[in-house]
Amino acid sequence: MKKQHLFIGGKYTESVQYTTLQAPYSGETLVEVASASAEETERAIIAAVEARKTMRQMPAHQRADLLYKLSAMLEERKEEAARIVSLEAAKPITAARAEIDRTIETYQIAAEEAKRLTGETVPMDAAKGGEGRIGYTMRQPLGVIGAITPFNFPMNLVAHKVGPALAAGNTIVLKPAEQTPLSAYFIASLLQEAGLPDGALNVVSGDGKTIGDVLVGHPDVAYITFTGSPAVGTSIRSNAGLKRVTLELGSNAAVIVDKDADLNKIIPRCVTGAFTYQGQVCISLQRIYVHQAIAEEFIHRFTEAAEQVVIGDPLNEDTVVSALITSKDVQRTLEWIEEAKQAGATVAAGGEAEGGILRPTVLVNVPRDAKVSCQEVFAPIVVINTVNSVEEGIQHVNDSMYGLQAGVFTSDIQTALRAVDEIEAGGVMINDIPTFRVDHMPYGGVKQSGIGREGVKYATEEMTELKFVMFNKN
């Protein structure tokens, strides 16, 4: 059986322990993957520390060239990369290809940002006593970045951490999700081929707590960037001390559909937002609040569309929904659906599983405290409730412990502006679903959806230290 070793200091090194990685859809064994110990994680940090000076002194144009080269190499091998994602994550192949395209662009944007880390002059004589002085700011790399990524976008969410870190001149210790480490090791091999200095990127797969505790607690790790659950994110923030952290956590993203909405355009878009890649996206559309004037037609047409969604093998070109990442998630979601039914909800479509696949599920009239409504479902389940106005819809959207992104469909500019002002979320999409994201926009949430912002420019700035410099001419 082939083994995937740890990547530390520019070399693949054997681990003391390996675990079997299986494909979520077929159950086939893919590879034996290294499971790093605390000591091996510390070795990765040491390698990153030793590479700090090299990366810090590397000119911006060279950092940019490395990232451009990585992007070009990924373009040449994107079908191979997409198959890796599809196999280890059960992501439908068309969605996997779309992720690779986004990843290529993310590294291109990071290359551009490497050359945009600018400071500003400070008019010292604007304050009494500042005469005769010149002041300016500059940005310098933080040092070692600890990056922890989830399974659902194993290439692109890695890119959102690795790209900005390298663009800013940092080094990285990357801990990929246990189910999707092969994507991270694939990127490591491409960066090595592109000429990245040894130790600038280190990949340690394995148990999240074992590796995470070392990264969060180690004095030489300057910054933690994490995408995952609110519970783990809260623990990281509690234990990180004075380390900087960016936490992209949970969501139960909602959209409001006003009475003037064009259902011909909106329903296909909402179906895409709810069910693409099994709903395993932080900003998957989970809650829909429809104006009562059009609710009956919306629910009927949405349900018909949901029943037409193709399920099956992720390598099938037509598949939209495949297996959930684990069998435990299938059982959990079935239990949540049953809880909603017992509380009075109606199952308009789906509600059943076929092996590891949960059929696209539409629930109507769901109580606000049902798990499928108030928690993050991370499955192809959408809740549709009726409201009397957009204002009522805004109240429901805000009635959540999360606030990552939300959407509003309306033709009324005043309604749109009011929604932008009143919705409690990191991003509000007018006339689009909350699942919309392109990779250069700021991305992050409020409340239990996290702190800090991703998006290449914003992440790159977060991974630098602002330094002030003053010259006295007197």
Beta bridge partners of 466: 139
Of these residues, 88, 113, 282, 374, which one is catalytic?
Answer: 282
Burial class (CB in 10 A: 0-12, 13-18, 19+), 360: buried
Of these residues, 88, 248, 376, 454, which one is catalytic?
Answer: 248
Find out whether 336 and 292 touch, Cβ atoms under 8 Å. no
Q: Has 352 been annotated as catalytic?
A: no
Strand 405-409 and strand 254-257: the pairing is parallel
C-alpha–C-alpha distance, residues 210 and 144, integer Å: 18
Q: Has 248 been annotated as catalytic?
A: yes
Of 78, 42, 41, whose CA–CA distance to 190 is shortest? Answer: 78
Q: At what angle do helices 156-167 and 93-114 cross, to 10 degrees?
A: 10
CA dihedral sign, ordered 238, 244, 249, 255:
positive
Structure tokens at 28: 């086939």
| Residues identified as active-site | 248, 282
